[in-house]
Amino acid sequence: MIDFDLLEPAITPSSKPSFLLDWELTMKCNLDCSYCRSGLYGGHYNIMPHPSLETALATIDFMFEYVNVYMELKPKWLRNVTLNIYGGESMYYPNIDKILEEARLRHEKYKDFWNLDITTTTNLILSHKILEKIYNDIDEFTISYHTESTENQRNQLRENLLFLKNKNKRIKVIVLMHPNTDNWDDCLSMINFCNTNNIKNLPRQLDHELSDVKFNYSDSQVEWFKNFYNSRSHGEVKFDKPVKKDEADNNDLSDYGRSCCGGRQLCTNGNFKERKGFVVGNNFKDWHCTVNWFFLSIKQVTGEIFTNRDCKMNLNSEIGPIGKLEDSAKIIEDLKTLVVNKRLPVIKCANSTCFCGLCAPKSSNKEKLLSAFEKYTAKNVFQE
């Protein structure tokens, strides 16, 4: 199905890849959506207590020291870091205001070398009192819209969105497109609300099987996605191969292909003139990938450290953590040693499906990837 051998983010003056520090601060959440697994390795787990403030603040220090190693390897135009605080629902962490304050303070020692944006992924279903307390310290809000929430919760979200817009905050609403008819119509209504109020929004497909429920799309819904992705692409997105059907004749769109989770346009085979909002093909097993150059994921409740929260590929080309927070000093020391000795490996993907990290440059040919990657690094530190 894949008809290209090199995939990269589209680079434009207004769109440059940053390094994403994905920090799952807590697993407590105020929603229980059917497409979000509950449990220690699901999207929420309310029986887990909030991590202590002391351990959370130590994590900030580790993340900044770790990302600084990669910033030293990048050209000036790529020295941008995004700290995304999420959960569960991160805004319910009892000391979230202190976390935001300390993140700013602890970035001070690096501020002349790399830029920091603090963002949060939130359902924005929270009291106005909490929102007033924290909104000023967050550069951008990524709001996930969940149609399975109650009417009161959806109204609260809309009110909070308008509040943030009036405060001139950067906001982006990710509308999780639920294929059930009533939910789908509600999602379309939310998109209309955002467009009417000039709020940036991005529909996102639900992957085929995220929990015990399968999420497939009808032919008309697939056509809707196709039209949307075509509108965001420079060059037509061709859905010219059959989309896999299930026993109810619904479409498994995630098996067919996907868009970047953050809405970034993509380029194939080095063609930056043709930018795509969707790529056909979603299986990059055995491809060579630079996901570690653009992502770090921290699961605070377990102390596990991953390159990417979804693919979980480590530097040994295995699925698993790169270490634990209790060993953070050694992790940084080992990384620096690899860099000094020019022994930094290129990850070979072991996953059959790319759920996230799609925008990290990757290729089925290692030499082709390394050639394309020269623009992303100021130093050659790969294994010789």
Q: What is the DSSP string of 59-117?
A: HHHHHHHHHHHHHTTS-GGG-EEEEEEESS-GGGSTTHHHHHHHHHHHHGGGTTTSEEE
Q: What is the CA radius of gyration of the chain?
A: 20
Enter the pTM of the model. Answer: 0.91
All residue ranges of the chain with pLDDT < 70 are 1, 208-213, 240-242, 244, 246-248, 250, 384
Structural contact between residues 186 and 194, judged by C-beta atoms closer than 8 angstroms: no
219: Cβ contacts below 8 Å, ≥ 6 apart? 251
Domains, the chain, with CATH or none: 16-234+292-345 (3.20.20.70)
Q: Which residue has the tokens 């949307």?
A: 228
- Reported as a single tens digit per residue, the pLDDT across 137-186 is 999 999 999 999 999 999 999 999 999 999 999 999 999 999 999 999 99
Structural contact between residues 149 and 31, judged by C-beta atoms closer than 8 angstroms: yes
pLDDT value at residue 243 = 72
Question: For the chain, how many residues are written?
Answer: 384
